[in-house]
Every structure is written in C-alpha cells, then in structure tokens.
Chains A and B, each alone.
Chain A
Amino acid sequence: GIQVEQSPPDLILQEGANSTLRCNFSDSVNNLQWFHQNPWGQLINLFYIPSGTKQNGRLSATTVATERYSLLYISSSQTTDSGVYFCAVSGGSEKLVFGKGTKLTVNP
C-alpha cells in the first residue's frame, strides 16, 4: 500500500518564526489532506490539496504530485499553532493513509 513519511518528527519554534513541514508519499494520489491535531485531540482540517497551492491566512500548502511530496508552510507562528500536524493521502482506494505526524511546539 501507499507509504507516507513526514518530516521533521519534532519541531520547536519561538513565537513569530516561520516553518516548513514536509510530506512524502510513495505513489500517485487522488486525495491529500493536512490536519492539525490540537492539544484537546481535535482534528482540524487545514487543506484538501491533491495538487497545486492553497493559502489560508498564515498557513499555505503546496503539493507537487509528479514528485510525490507536499509542503505545509506556517508563517509568524503563534503558541496556538502547537500540536501535531498530520498529512494523509489516498490513492486508488478511498481510505486515508496517515503519516506519523510532526509535533510542533511554539514557545512564547
């Protein structure tokens, strides 16, 4: 089945810093989503982005499907950005395969 790798596994930032999270996948995909799991365990859907570039406030994402990777950019990070960021993909079947996540800690 399709494999998903996220990097880095852990990231510690000072408030105001920028960061880039990466998601590599092993096969072509028809769905790619980025999620933020907050400290209360809720999964927040950030982007549906099987290809192309999208922006939403301080967050943006780019997926280069032909090279099998996606990037999530966080600018001017805030303490509320802390949590775990998951990339999830599906290709050929409907089930999403999740990466192991990037744990982000933003210090004040």
Chain B
Amino acid sequence: NAGVTQTPKFQVLKTGQSMTLQCAQDMNHEYMSWYRQDPGMGLRLIHYSVGAGITDQGEVPNGYNVSRSTTEDFPLRLLSAAPSQTSVYFCASSSRGPGANVLTFGAGSRLTVL
C-alpha cells in the first residue's frame, strides 16, 4: 500500500516554463488537496477536491490549476512558473473531508524556479 505518491521529488524550472506535479493515492480517498510550504508560513492550501470532477480553490490558488478526472489522481499544473512559486509542495488525501478525517501526506515535491 503506497499511500500518497508524488512525482517528481525535485524540479528546477526557469521563469515562464510550465510543468505538472503529479499526485496519486491508492486508498480510494475522496478528498485530495495540494499545499505549499514556505519557511515561516506553514502549510497553505492551494486547491482541493472532494471527488472526481469537483475542485475548489484554497487559500493561495493563483498561478495554479488542478483537475480531478479520477479518484486516484490529482495533478497540480503551473502554467507559467514564477520565482514566487519556489516552494515545497505537498499532496494530501483523506477518506472524508475536507476537515472531518485525517490527512495522509505525500513525501513532497521541492520546486525551484529560477
């Protein structure tokens, strides 16, 4: 049972490039979410989904897109990367949600935008 799998673990982009952070869970969780973590800022919610076909914005959604075509996958897209998006990104899922049940986090993806 892999839990929540994030790829890639590390990525360096140039300003203006696009990329997708992948997140997959094998626990049949309905709720999935993306957080970014910056020094001194804690975990801030970017986007979340309560089920396939349903997504919503979190606290810091600008510059990011998401989609949820299957229960298992919840990719995060950066359409035109900016240095301000340099951060560690965590995907998390739960069996009920968003707040009722506990979150299982992936190992994280460290993104640097030059």
Q: Are A and B physically bound partners?
A: no
B: residues with CB less than 8 A from A are none
